[in-house]
Amino acid sequence: MRDFPSCFGENGVQVADASCSSVGASQVCQNSVTSVYKCILFAKTCLISIVWAKNLMGQCLSVEIGDVSNNFICKVDVRSSLFSKKKGSKSFEVNSSKIEVFWDLSLAKFGSGLEPLEGYYVAVVCKGEMVLVIGDLKKEAFQKTGTAKFSLSSAIFISKREHIYGKRVFGTKAQFCDNGQIHDLRIECDTNLSDDPFLLVRVDAKTVMQIQHLKWKFRGNDTILVDGLPVEVFWDVHNWFFGQSLGNAVFMFQTSSSAEKLWTSPSISDSSMFSWSCSESFRESKSSGLGFSLFLYAWKNE
């Protein structure tokens, strides 16, 4: 199956999942959540990927920094069973400048997902300035790193990839814009009990999209409104019906600044047109500074 990120051409921004570059890539990629932030480093735009993953060795955290041309800058791996190394830091010299990564998971509380719910921070500091800090313990992060709060740059949450599992219902938490409201997102589809299955997308228990005759419309796109913003939804459920038994469906939720374009765009089923639309939508929204992409890889439990 064509993976949505692969349809971003050379001129687009590819968001690499850091955990997938390690041993057992297929295993790790099926148990990971990747959040990507656009930041300014060395007076240019860079991408910082925060990857929470779980494999046979336990849980791990990766922080990878690169520029928008996919040039690798540095990477930090915090690996061990249940984060036995719960706090620490690591520094690098890049272009004669010091980059430091700090983390504290000693009070972290986890739910059913891979990301901590609260009680943690992960911070990236460059030349004494806070480039990125995530988690609810931001005050502690500034104290630990010795940076002033006013030094926090305008890091933007631009992309998230998550692998979700279920038999008929696939649920997660979703935030469709930076600092926006966190919503309950559910994708519902029963591929076994109906000769003519359909797909539902619900946001906070409200149905916002319904696709009938899914076997014929296994790829396509539609537009929903969330928090007053148009969100374009792409789906590819081909593998659920025609692929291998362990195949996954892929969903992309893409915000866009051009509501008029979205409301007038036709539904797309042809794969080549689908790839073009995906790439163009991504690039246009990125250039406007308002775009956010949520990728969900939905795996069916047997």
Number of domains in the chain: 2
pLDDT band at 50 (very low <50, low <70, confident <90, very high): very high
Q: Assess whether 143 and 191 both reside in one domain.
A: no
Residue 30: per-residue pLDDT: 60
Q: Assess whether 145 and 208 both reside in one domain.
A: no
What is the three-class DSSP state of 57?
A: coil
> Alpha-carbon dihedral of residues 132, 107, 15, 183, nearest 10 degrees?
-100
pLDDT above 60 (res 185): yes
> Given strand 156-166, what is the order of strands in its sheet?
72-79, 58-67, 44-55, 32-41, 156-166, 293-300, 248-255, 229-236, 219-226
Q: Assess whether 149 and 171 both reside in one domain.
A: no
Residue 259: per-residue pLDDT: 38
Residue 152: per-residue pLDDT: 57
Q: Assess whether 185 and 287 both reside in one domain.
A: yes
pLDDT band at 25 (very low <50, low <70, confident <90, very high): very low
Residue-wise pLDDT for 146-177, tens only, equals 887 655 557 888 899 999 998 899 999 888 87
At which of 154, 173, 207 does a domain end? 154
Backbone angles phi, psi at 141, to 5 degrees: -65, -45
| Rounded average pLDDT over 63-87 | 76
Q: Assess whether 17 and 107 both reside in one domain.
A: yes
What is the three-class DSSP state of 78?
A: strand
Identity of the highest mean pLDDT range in 115-129, 233-247, 282-296: 115-129
Q: Assess whether 174 and 131 both reside in one domain.
A: no
Q: Assess whether 35 and 100 both reside in one domain.
A: yes
Q: Assess whether 20 and 50 both reside in one domain.
A: yes
What is the three-class DSSP state of 217?
A: coil
Q: Assess whether 143 and 168 both reside in one domain.
A: no
Instruction: Return mean pLDDT, the chain.
Output: 76
Q: Assess whether 64 and 188 both reside in one domain.
A: no
pLDDT band at 110 (very low <50, low <70, confident <90, very high): confident
At which of 124, 154, 184 does a domain end? 154
Q: Assess whether 47 and 126 both reside in one domain.
A: yes
Residue-wise pLDDT for 214-247, tens only, equals 989 999 999 999 988 899 999 999 999 887 666 7
H-helix segments, 84-173: 138-145
Backbone angles phi, psi at 273, to 5 degrees: -65, -35
pLDDT band at 60 (very low <50, low <70, confident <90, very high): confident
Domain that holds residue 128: 4-154
At which of 154, 179, 205 does a domain end? 154
Residue-wise pLDDT for 4-18, tens only, equals 333 322 222 223 333
Q: Write the CB contacts of 69 (distance below 8 Å, at least 6 apart in sequence).
A: none
Q: Are 133 and 93 in contact (CB under 8 A)?
A: no
Phi-psi region of 205 (alpha: psi -120 to 50; beta: other; left: phi over 0): left
Q: Assess whether 144 and 40 both reside in one domain.
A: yes
* Other CB atoms within 10 Å distance of the CB of residue 52: 21
Residue 67: per-residue pLDDT: 82
* Other CB atoms within 10 Å distance of the CB of residue 206: 9
Query: Whole-prediction pTM value?
Result: 0.75
